Structure 1
Amino acid sequence: MRLKATARVKAWSALVAAALLGAAGVASCSGGDDEPAAVAKVASTLGPGEGVLNLVTLPGAIESGGSDPRVDWVTPFEERTGCKVGLKVVQTPEEMADLMRAENRRYDGFAAPPEVAGQLIAEKRVTPVNTDLVDGFKKLEPKLRRLLRRDGTQYGVPYVWGSNLLMYDVRTVPPPASWAALFDPDRAGRHSGKLIMRDSPLAIAEAALYLKRARPKLKIDDPYALTPKQLEAAGRVLAAQRPHVGEYWERPAGAVSAFAGGRAVLGQAWPYHVDVLTRASRPVQAAVPAEGVTGWMDAWMIGPRVEHPNCMYQWLQWTASPDVQQQVAEWTGVAPANPQACSGDRLKPGFCAAYHVGDRDYIDRVVFAHAPTKACDGGSGKKGCTDYAEWKKTWIEATKL
C-alpha cells in the first residue's frame, strides 16, 4: 500500500434483545420491561433473501468499486444473493450509536467499533446472532469472538482488528521500551512538538497502561475499567503531555502524513502506519512497550429492528469468508478476523507477519478495547467505574480545552 493510498483507509473509530426470525422474515414481538421497544429476536432459521440490505458504517468499512473499480466486495455479494445493499455512512461512532437507538429507523446491520458495540449491547439495542447460521464463524479468531459474547449469547461477528503501538523515527528516537516515552513529562519533552496521539477518548487506556506500571498504588487492572480516581490520574497525564503533542490524528492518513513530512518522530500508531511508511522507505519502526499494547476490533452487528434478516445473515457469512477478508485487509490496512485470509495465495506472508494475523501469542497479549461502563464491564468484576461519557469529558478537558 502506498502513501497516496492512505486516504482510502477507514476512520478510527468510537445491544440485547432478540426476536424469532422465520424462514422468510422477522416476526415482531414485545420484549421484557427492560428491553427497548420493537427489538428483534435471534434467528432460528433462514429463508430466501428479501432483496434488500440496509447497512451503517464508518467511512471505508466496505467498498463497492467507487474508490477503485478493482476493489469491490459488494457487487459480487449482490449478484450472488440478490440482496441490494443500501449504505449509510456516518462520520463518528456517536452518530452510529444514535441511529441504532432511534426507534423510527430500521437498519439491518452496522460495522461497530468497540465503544459502539459495548454501549449498545449494554442498552439491549442489538439483535443477538445465531452463530449456527453463519458459515465460517468458528474459523474466526477465538479471542475476537469472545469479545462479543455475554452470558452465553453472541452479539456480533468479528470483521477486522488492530493494535496500538509506539512508532518512532529511528534517526532521532532511541527504541522506546515503555509507554513512558510518550507519557512521562520529562521524556515526552525530549521530542516536544513532534509527538502524535490518536484523537479518541479510548486513547486514555494507553495512559492507564503507563500508570499501571508507573503508579502501582492506583491498582489499575483493566485499562478500560477505571475508577473516578484512576480516570482523573490518566487525565492529568494527558494534560501534562498536551504541550508536547504536535497533532492528535483522527484519520489514519494523518499519522502517516505527520511522520512522512517530518512533523512527528514518536507517537501512537497501528501496524498499518508502520507498513505504509516502511514500504515508502521512511525510517520508522514500531515498539511493543513493556506494559503491553491495547487493541480494537470492528464487528458486524445486527440492528435492533432488523427488517431483512435473511440478507443480513448472508452478509455476515460473506464478510467472514477468507476471500472477502483478504480484500478488506489489503484495501483498508487492517488485520482480518479470519486467519484463513493468509492461507493459499491470498494475503502475502509479509503482510500477515506485519499485522500479526494468526499469531495467537501476540493476540492473547493484546488488551482489546471495550466500552467503559460504570459496572466495569470487561471481566474485571469491579464496581464503581466510569462510563464512556466520563471518558469523553476527561479527554476533551485534557486535550482540547
Structure 2
Amino acid sequence: MSRFTRLALMTAAGVAVGAAFAQPYNAQADMLQKIGAGEGEVAIIAWTGYIEDGSNDKSYDWVTGFEKATGCKVSVKIAGTSDEMVSLMNAGGYDLVTASGDATMRLIRGGTVQEINTALVPNYSTIDPRLQNAPWHTVDGKHYGASYQWGPNVLMYNTAAFKEAPKSWDVVFKETTLADGKSNKGRVEAYGGPIYIADAALFLMKHNPELGITDPYYLDEKQFAAAVDLLKGQRQLVAKYWTDAAAQIDEFKNEGIVAATSWPYQVNTIQADKESKIKVGSTVPDEGSTGWSDTTMMASSAPHPNCAYLWLNHSLEPATQAGVASWFGSVPSVPAACKGQAILGDEGCKGNGSELFDKIHFWKTPIKDCGSGKTCVDYKTWTEAFNGIQSGQ
C-alpha cells in the first residue's frame, strides 16, 4: 500500500472520528485506585522517536531500564498522523497513546481514553504548570493524560537554496525565485493531515487581517474558505505531502525538496548525518507557527493498566524527558529535565524552542461550537476539504 493510499484511509477514518467528536462522552472506565502487579507488558502508540530502546542508537534508551525494573515489556506502534492514532485507539488493544492536541478531545469525547488518577503518578506534580491543566487534556478539572513533550512545527530549508533563514512562510505558500536562481515550484512539501489547514490560517492572520482570524483552529466559513483557497494555490508548488518523518528526510536528501513544514526530529537527523551532501536549517518565521503539545493518554479499555500507570510515571522522569527531547528535538514537559542531564545539556531546551511557548498555536481539534457565540467549521469538514486539496479538486 502506498503512503498516499494509506493517508487517504487515515483521513477517511478521521471523518468518522470527527463525527464522533460531536457526541456526548461515552462511559468511562473506572480509574485505578492502587497500582498492583504489572501485567508483563504495555502497548503504546507513539510518534516516531518518542519511545527509543537503544536499537537505533544505544545512547538513547529509556525503555530497557523500565522493562528491567517493572517486568513490563514495552511494544510500540508508530503512527504518522493524529488521525491514524485516533483510528488505532478506537480499534482497541493498546494501553497508551502520545496524542497531540488535535486528537485528544476526539479521544476524550469518544470515550476512548479514561481519566487518570494523578495520585498514582507521583511525577505529575513536576510537569510545567502551564501544561498540568492544559485544555487539550483537562475537562471539568479531570485529567485525561500526562503531558509528554511539546514543540513548534518548523520551516526546514535547504541552505543551498536559501542564503539565510526565511523570515516568512510565504516561501511555501507562494511561488518565488530562491537564492539558487530556481523557482520553489515543485520543490515544496506540506504536511499531509487536515490540521495543516491551520498553518494556512495562521499565515492569513498576519497577511489578511481583514478576515478577522484570531485562532487558526476556530474558523468561520469565510475564514475557512480563505485558508482552503490558499492551500489550493499552494498545491501547484507542492511536490509531495508528507506524513512519514523518515520519508521526508529521504526526500530532502534525494528528491530536491528545499522547503517544508517539518519537525525538529527531521532537522536534527539530517544535520547529524555527516555523509549527507544536503545541508538544512530550520526556523520559526515571523508569523509564528503551529505546534504540538503531546499527552500520554490511557485507553478506557487498556489491557495492561498497572504497567500503563508505571509507564506514565516513568515517562515524566527527568532522564526520560531529556532523552526524548535530545533525540526528537522537542521540549520536555518537565522543566527539571532541562538542567543537569548530560544527554540534553543545560542549553538543550532553549535550542529546541523552549522560549517559543507563547508564540506557538498548539494543535487542537476544530469544533462547531467554538465559543463566544461563534459557529466554526468542524473537523469533519476540514478532513473533506483537505482530501480535495490533495487530490487537486
Same fold at TM > 0.5: yes
Three-state SS of the structure 1 residue aligned to 2:236 is: helix
Shift of 1:262: 6.6
User: Which residue of the partner structure matches residue 42 of structure 1?
Assistant: 31
User: Which residue of the partner structure matches residue 162 of structure 1?
Assistant: 151
Q: 1:43-89 deviations in whole A, cap 9, x for unaligned?
A: 4x313234244423146342345545664433322321233445555
Q: 1:209-231 deviations in whole A, cap 9, x for unaligned?
A: 11112222221111111222222
Code of the residue aligned with 1:115 in structure 2: it is D
User: Which residue of the partner structure matches residue 355 of structure 1?
Assistant: 352
Change (3 A) 1:83 1:273: closer
Q: 1:349-392 deviations in whole A, cap 9, x for unaligned?
A: 45433212xx3x4112211101112222xxx5453212222112
Equivalent-residue separation in structure 2 for 1:52 and 1:375 (angstroms): 43
User: Which residue of the partner structure matches residue 141 of structure 1?
Assistant: 128
Shift of 1:341: 2.4
Code of the residue aligned with 2:238 in structure 1: it is V
Pair 1:51 & 2:39 matched: yes
User: Which residue of the partner structure matches residue 171 of structure 2?
Assistant: 181
1:309 to 305, 313, 323: 305
Pair 1:216 & 2:209 matched: yes
Change (3 A) 1:354 1:253: farther
Equivalent-residue separation in structure 2 for 1:63 and 1:260 (angstroms): 24
Q: 1:218-263 deviations in whole A, cap 9, x for unaligned?
A: 2111111122222221111111111111222222233333333471
2:47 and 2:98 in contact (8 A); partners too: no
User: Which residue of the partner structure matches residue 322 of structure 2?
Assistant: 326
Bigger mean CA deviation after superposition, 307-316 or 82-91: 82-91
Equivalent-residue separation in structure 1 for 2:36 and 2:222 (angstroms): 53
Three-state SS of the structure 2 residue aligned to 1:181 is: helix
Change (3 A) 1:280 1:141: same
Three-state SS of the structure 1 residue aligned to 2:147 is: strand
1:140 and 1:339 in contact (8 A); partners too: yes
TM-score of the two chains, using structure 2 as the length reference = 0.81
User: Which residue of the partner structure matches residue 387 of structure 1?
Assistant: 378
TM-score of the two chains, using structure 1 as the length reference = 0.79
Alignment of 1:1-400 (within 5 A): 34-37=24-27, 39-43=28-32, 45-58=33-46, 60=48, 61-67=50-56, 71-88=60-77, 93-102=82-91, 105=92, 107-145=94-132, 146=134, 147-173=136-162, 175-185=165-175, 190-261=183-254, 263-280=256-273, 282-344=278-340, 345-349=342-346, 351-356=348-353, 359=354, 361-376=355-370, 381=372, 383-400=374-391
The share of aligned pairs that are identical, in percent, is 34
Code of the residue aligned with 2:128 in structure 1: it is E
Q: 1:133-157 deviations in whole A, cap 9, x for unaligned?
A: 2122232233333142222221111
2:293 and 2:363 in contact (8 A); partners too: yes
Q: What CA RMSD, in Å, does the superposition of the two structures yield over aligned residues?
A: 3.0
Three-state SS of the structure 2 residue aligned to 1:116 is: helix
User: How many pairs align?
Assistant: 362
Change (3 A) 1:343 1:382: farther
Change (3 A) 1:165 1:49: same
Change (3 A) 1:278 1:117: same
Code of the residue aligned with 1:348 in structure 2: it is G
Gapped runs of 5+ residues in structure 2?
1-6, 12-22
2:60 and 2:323 in contact (8 A); partners too: yes
